[in-house]
RNA sequence: GGUGAGGUGGGUGAGAGGCUGAAACCACCGGUUUGCUAAACCGACGUACGGGUAACACUGUACCGCGGGUUCGAAUCCCGCCCUCACCGCCA
């Protein structure tokens, strides 16, 4: 969430910027500011009353110690009214405080100035394209048919074992998955990311820290007996490493990478692009996360984009980088680049990565701060993350784009990881 | 699943109704000393939200796992919850 200080100092800016996200904030901002003033006044009143009470209590203690029991008891009589007063003032304060909070969490992050206005994915801006075009012959197959033909993925079996959206990879399909995971992790490590193996299940605090809770609760699998959630992305456990910490500025940026299975209920998205690997309830992903100094976070974002780009290049996939428009961005993001690869048989662009700078928005919830020599007070760090990369759609594109009459050709970089050159 | 112990500042750990936002030690930071390093010594050393300031200073309140209660006054007493650790049982 945005900090109240920022809103207080830049109310018009907030309203103006959120228009880019098609969010009308004018009323909420107005209300927040007026409640904030009330809150401060209420706090002053309550604090003053408490100060009086504290003073009086100290005096009573002194009187008792000096043996002046009568005077002490007399003073005691004056406390009940004060006490009641404090109760009321406290209640007033916390009810206003709560209201401010309720409003604050409704405000999305303000977009970076370079974010284009727009409503839907149609308005996103392609900032870069790369990779060579793929020419397929007339009898080319979509990846779900290739997967079946070469016995790589058994979707039906997944349905038997679990349900739709939980495919079973087998044989070379399974090995290809493992190869990709190792390749992505090695690449990340070479780019300076520390590898993490996080828990795949997190508690409520963590879900809240990265913003999945409370609003997007329905997107996660919830283990109700223990009140834990299956992670929808490694971002959740990895970023929460930095929850409630004060870092040293000289240690920034922190760079972590993690492979994890990701679990998403995808409630409400049935029937839309769910064929084959396009949308799953469980999939594999390697994530990269950075905790950066606010002055450096956009450099870091570019670095992360470059890293992801190098991956799709090495996999020899046709790709494009898209800067999301305000309407297509997530609630928490200030700037997001999506990576899409061309899936030649489906003749579709598939999103395989989303790289975002959340600035201080997520850090504010997480209470992820740092301290430098110049400032006594800790300040909020910037958090960033990106997929590097999500596997299923990469697999889909690899299968479709590399199909030949002899079989499916594995890209050179993956051959050492796979241990085979062709799927046939 | 059973039994027991315990949650205090960055860490160890004292405190058992008022003089405790919290001893002591360690770590970190600043300084003195030193050819350099180390040691020694001195000093500073939590967070949040207010007030205050150009900014500091200064100052009020809250915070000893979380939430209630008792009391003029709670880290300390009472109740509920959460979590951690140890041992036993089961198990990868």
Pick the closest to residue A177 from A397, A391, A372, A422 (CA basis): A391
Residue A259, in any domain of the structure: yes
Do both A72 and A131 map to the same domain?
A: no
Q: A79, A104, A129 — which closes off a domain?
A: A104
Do both A419 and A371 map to the same domain?
A: yes
What distance lies between CA A242 and its chain's CA centroid? 13
Residue A115, in any domain of the structure: no
Say whether A117 sits in a helix, a strand or coil: coil
Write the CA distances from A352 to A218, A233, A255, A327, A416, integer angstroms: 23, 13, 21, 19, 23
Quote the pLDDT of residue A88.
Answer: 92
* CATH at residue A179: 3.30.930.10
The answer to whether the beta carbon of residue A162 comes closer than 7 angstroms to any atom of strand B is no
The gap between A103 CA and B49 C1' (Å) is 18
Q: Count Cα atoms within 13 angstroms, Cβ side, for A2.
A: 28
Residue A12, in any domain of the structure: yes
Do both A125 and A67 map to the same domain?
A: no
The answer to whether the beta carbon of residue A60 comes closer than 7 angstroms to any atom of strand B is yes
Instruction: Report the alpha-carbon distance of residue A126 to residue A219 in Å, rounded.
Output: 28
Instruction: Report the alpha-carbon distance of residue A90 to residue A128 in Å, rounded.
Output: 56
Q: A72, A104, A136 — which closes off a domain?
A: A104
Do both A56 and A126 map to the same domain?
A: no
The answer to whether the beta carbon of residue A199 comes closer than 7 angstroms to any atom of strand B is no
Q: Are A391 and A411 in contact (CB under 8 A)?
A: no
Do both A187 and A300 map to the same domain?
A: yes
Do both A339 and A382 map to the same domain?
A: yes
pLDDT 10s per residue in chain A (424 long)? 999 999 999 999 999 999 999 999 999 999 999 999 999 999 999 999 999 999 999 999 888 888 788 888 888 888 888 899 999 999 999 999 999 999 999 999 999 999 999 999 999 999 999 998 888 888 899 999 999 999 999 999 999 999 999 999 999 999 999 999 999 999 999 999 999 999 999 998 899 889 888 777 788 999 888 889 999 999 999 999 999 998 888 888 999 999 999 999 987 666 667 789 999 999 999 999 999 999 999 999 999 999 999 999 999 999 999 999 999 999 999 999 999 999 999 999 999 999 999 999 999 999 999 988 777 789 999 999 999 999 999 999 999 999 999 999 999 999 999 999 999 9
Residue A110, in any domain of the structure: no
Residue A379, in any domain of the structure: yes
Do both A356 and A317 map to the same domain?
A: yes
Say whether A242 sits in a helix, a strand or coil: coil
Bases of chain B within 7 A of a CB of the protein: 18, 47-51, 57, 60-62, 72-73
What tokens does A363 get? 């850090």
The gap between A67 CA and B71 C1' (Å) is 19
Say whether A279 sits in a helix, a strand or coil: coil
Write the CA distances from A205 to A3, A65, A230, integer angstroms: 19, 46, 13
Do both A72 and A164 map to the same domain?
A: no
In degrees, rounded to 5, the angle at the alpha carbon of residue A13 between the alpha carbons of residues A12 and A16 is: 85
What distance lies between CA A81 and its chain's CA centroid? 49
The answer to whether the beta carbon of residue A178 comes closer than 7 angstroms to any atom of strand B is no
DSSP state of A151: T
Q: Are A293 and A381 in contact (CB under 8 A)?
A: yes
Do both A87 and A189 map to the same domain?
A: no
Quote the pLDDT of residue A165.
Answer: 94
The gap between A209 CA and B75 C1' (Å) is 28
Q: Are A324 and A338 in contact (CB under 8 A)?
A: yes
Do both A275 and A404 map to the same domain?
A: yes
Q: A104, A136, A171 — which closes off a domain?
A: A104
* CATH at residue A61: 1.10.287.40
Instruction: Report the alpha-carbon distance of residue A335 to residue A116 in Å, rounded.
Output: 10
Say whether A102 sits in a helix, a strand or coil: helix
Do both A19 and A68 map to the same domain?
A: yes
Q: Which domain holds residue A264?
A: 121-423
Quote the pLDDT of residue A78.
Answer: 83
Residue A52, in any domain of the structure: yes
The number of domains in chain A is 2
Residue A109, in any domain of the structure: no
Strand pairing partners for A337?
A323, A355
ipTM over 0.90: no
What tokens does A270 get? 């049935």
Q: What is the DSSP string of A321-335?
A: EEEPPGGGS-TT-SE
In degrees, rounded to 5, the angle at the alpha carbon of residue A269 between the alpha carbons of residues A265 and A272 is: 135
Instruction: Classify strands A348-357 and A335-343 as parallel, antiparallel or unpaired.
Output: antiparallel
Residue A112, in any domain of the structure: no
Do both A98 and A125 map to the same domain?
A: no
Instruction: Report the alpha-carbon distance of residue A324 to residue A22 in Å, rounded.
Output: 13
What does the H/E/C string look like for A202-229? Answer: ECHHHHHHCCCCCCCHHHCCEECCCCEE
- For the CA atoms of A336, A278, A388, A237, the dihedral, rounded to the nearest 10 degrees, stands at 80
């Amino acid at each position: 969430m945005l900090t109240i200080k920022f809103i207080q100092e830049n109310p018009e800016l907030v309203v103006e910027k959120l228009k880019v996200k098609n969010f009308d904030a004018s009323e909420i901002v107005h209300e927040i500011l007026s409640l904030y003033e009330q809150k401060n006044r209420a706090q002053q009143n309550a604090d003053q009353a408490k100060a009086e009470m504290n003073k009086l209590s100290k005096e009573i203690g002194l009187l008792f110690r000096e043996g002046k029991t009568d005077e002490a008891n007399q003073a005691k009589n004056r406390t009940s009214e004060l006490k009641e007063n404090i109760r009321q003032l406290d209640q007033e304060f916390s009810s206003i405080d709560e209201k401010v909070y309720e409003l604050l969490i409704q405000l999305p992050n303000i977009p970076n100035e370079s974010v284009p206005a727009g409503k839907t994915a149609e308005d996103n801006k392609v900032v870069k394209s790369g990779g060579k075009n793929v020419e397929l012959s007339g009898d080319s197959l979509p990846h779900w048919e290739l997967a079946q033909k070469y016995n790589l993925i058994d979707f039906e079996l997944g349905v038997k074992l679990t349900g739709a959206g939980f495919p079973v990879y087998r044989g070379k399909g399974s090995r290809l998955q493992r190869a990709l995971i190792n390749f992505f992790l090695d690449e990340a490590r070479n780019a300076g990311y520390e590898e993490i193996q996080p828990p795949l299940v997190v508690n409520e605090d963590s879900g809240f820290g990265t913003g999945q809770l409370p609003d997007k609760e329905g997107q996660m699998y919830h283990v109700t007996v223990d009140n834990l959630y299956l992670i929808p992305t490694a971002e959740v456990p990895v970023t929460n490493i930095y929850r409630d910490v004060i870092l040293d500025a000289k240690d920034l940026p922190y760079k972590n990478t993690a492979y994890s299975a990701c679990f998403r209920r995808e409630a409400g998205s049935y029937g839309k692009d769910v064929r084959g690997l396009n949308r799953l309830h469980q999939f594999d992903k390697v994530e990269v996360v950075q905790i950066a100094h606010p002055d450096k976070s956009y450099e870091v974002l570019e670095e992360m984009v470059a890293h992801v780009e190098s991956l799709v290049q090495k996999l020899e996939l046709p790709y494009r980088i898209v800067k999301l428009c305000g309407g297509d961005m997530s609630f928490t993001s200030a700037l997001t680049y999506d990576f899409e690869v061309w899936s030649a048989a489906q003749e579709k662009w598939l999103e395989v990565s989303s790289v975002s700078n959340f600035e201080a928005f997520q850090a504010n919830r997480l209470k992820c701060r740092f301290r430098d020599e110049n400032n006594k007070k800790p300040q909020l760090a910037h958090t960033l993350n990106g997929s590097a990369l999500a596997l299923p759609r990469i697999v889909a594109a690899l299968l479709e784009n590399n199909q030949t009459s002899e079989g499916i050709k594995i890209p050179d970089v993956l051959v050492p990881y796979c241990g085979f050159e062709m799927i046939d």
